[in-house]
Amino acid sequence: MNESCLRMCTNAPSTQFLGDCPVGHYRANNDCLPCGPGYRQKDEGQYHCNICPSGTYNPYWGNRFCYHCPQGYHQPGTGQTGCLKCDVGYYQDKDRQAFCKECGEGHFADEPGMAECEECPPGYKQPNTGENHCKVCKEGTYQDIPSQPHCKKCPIGTYQDEKGKDTCKSCPSAIVEESTVCYTPGY
């Protein structure tokens, strides 16, 4: 017999092999069966399939690979057929990961499946982690640097009567400030 007949005789039932089962398959008695979704087999002649580890998936029958979850996605389970998007407030900047990471202070993720968090712009803050938005700096405060957890109080001699600003306004001379307004003493 030639080698191809040793691997699979043409007069045998379609799943019955006399030789090694091909990649993506495993031997069960005299049959070669495809590995199911969530499993893979990269070697020939095996008697079992390997489960896809966390951070990977396989949606196909008879596959030799598990695919890596891409950035912005994760998969905490094993033997899965797909990946999960990171929730808002979370991100994943690497592939093949089981979990997503929380956005840090001064950052946010406002959409599912983000590969990185966005910076809070000047005039805004975010004191918490895992958030989906930034908070505006209120009157009497400002923030001139992006990605900050807190707003700064306007210094003496300045004020800010608007929200979300990156600077404070100067009070005219001989006028004292209260961070939101300037006034002349004695009036």
pLDDT tens-digit series, residues 65-101: 999 999 999 999 999 999 999 999 999 999 999 999 9
Residue 174: which pLDDT band, with cuts at 50, 70 and 90? Answer: low
Give the CATH number for residue 2. Answer: 2.10.50
Query: Considering the chain, what is the average pLDDT of its residues?
Result: 89
Contact yes or no for 100/74 (Cβ under 8 A): yes
Residue 117, domain member (yes or no): no
Residue 181: what pLDDT?
Answer: 74
Number of domains in the chain: 1
Is the residue at 9 inside a domain? Answer: yes
- Encoding tokens for residue 90? 């979370």
Phi, psi (deg, nearest 5) at residue 69: -65, 135
Tell whether 133 is covered by a domain. no
Residues 115-169: pLDDT tens digits?
999 999 999 999 999 999 999 999 999 999 999 999 999 998 889 999 999 999 9
Q: Domain limits at 41?
A: 1-65
Whether residue 144 lies inside any domain: the answer is no
In-domain check, residue 116: no
The whole-model pTM stands at 0.79
